[in-house]
Structure 1
Amino acid sequence: MPPFVKRDASAHPVSFPHLIACTYCDAVHQQADLAEGERALCLRCGGLLYRESQRAYQRQLPLMVTALILFILSSAWPIVEMDLKGVRTETSLRGALQALCAGHMMPVAILVFATTILFPLAEMLMMLYLLVPMALRRMPPGFGRLVRAIQRTRPWGMLEVFMIGVLVTLVKLSTIARVLPGVALWSFAALTIVLAVMLSFDPRDLWQYLEEEPPR
């Protein structure tokens, strides 16, 4: 019997390109070819394994640029103007954060800043960093780390929740003052729609595309 030889896994990594593990229950499955629009589900828990979405990232790039433009408009311009007995006041996202800080509500201000500015902007910038080189058929540095960071960051972006809160507040304020929608309110509404379309794209689909057509 030949002697047992111990191999260094780091020196000779073993990969299984045709196997995929479920992110919800860790069940391992054999990958199968799918038609356009089809999805593969886990046999154990029913979770999504992967979907056929070749070149879906190309549709995300114009959406990402549009979302960034709308985000800048939403952050820079007033959300609403209120006219109360001849006195006009403007409210913007930055002004709301400053009011929370001035009102000794720093934890709430930090939470609003993180969920409406920090995390959504971080996700958009990371996606843009990935999509532009991939559109040129190049591998962006730090691809794996950024895809995982996007997956962890996405649940914390709550711009749509903020938009619902703004609409509820405007309805209540309209009973005591004249409410005039600002530029940021319309851009926030458009941004919410664009983000809803973007959220239908799973960043894990980028892995599938890279395995099928590795960039130069």
Structure 2
Amino acid sequence: MGGTRSYGDPCGVARGLDIIGERWALLVVRNLLLGPRRFNDLLAGLPGVSPNVLSQRLRELTEHGVVQRRDLGPPTRVHLYDLTEWGRALEPVLLQFGRWGSQSPQLPEGDLGIDSLLLSIKAAFDPARAADLRGVYEFHIDADTYLAEVADDSVQLRRGTAPEPDATLTTDVDTLRAVCLHQITMAAAQDSGMLLLSGDEHARRRLTDLLLAPFAPAPQPSTP
């Protein structure tokens, strides 16, 4: 770690930035919040980062104890990257930072990735609505499966499956993005066959409300 730059400041903010302040580092953490990822998955989820830079960030984050690498061994010989317990403690920081950043008047070009779309659910979740949204929901997005569990006053999101989810959504990331951003309605996506919803009517409605809540259109000012 001798080659990494430091602010040389004992303040906790500066010490934290010594660890996650390098370009791409915090986005690597963001893309691991929902569960372990392979190197190529992280690379695909971070458009613009080079393999060499990603390797360097993963190495630095591992050395600092934020990320850990797990080797699955033969016959797969797959390396998985996951957050340590200390790294996972960054989740509320990232969610709050995301809320703050979403208020920026500048909107760069590019598409929201699947991790950002789903983490928006956590960032915007209203604990007062937990009773109305309670349930276990699966999202089958392209080749990945994500699990959302609403109970008590929180929502938990991770990569994984449930034995008997209350409702299931199956689609691709482009369709999900279009639905979330209100470029197409959920009904139109279902009618076209690009999106499938299964489960009883009430569970499907709860899943839809949970998914779309972070992307509700801003209220229009009333005309005099």
TM-score by length of 1: 0.23
Report which of the two has the higher share of strand. 2
Report which of the two has the higher share of helix. 1
Higher relative contact order (CA 8 A, sep 6+): 1
Structure (1 or 2) with the larger CA radius of gyration: 1
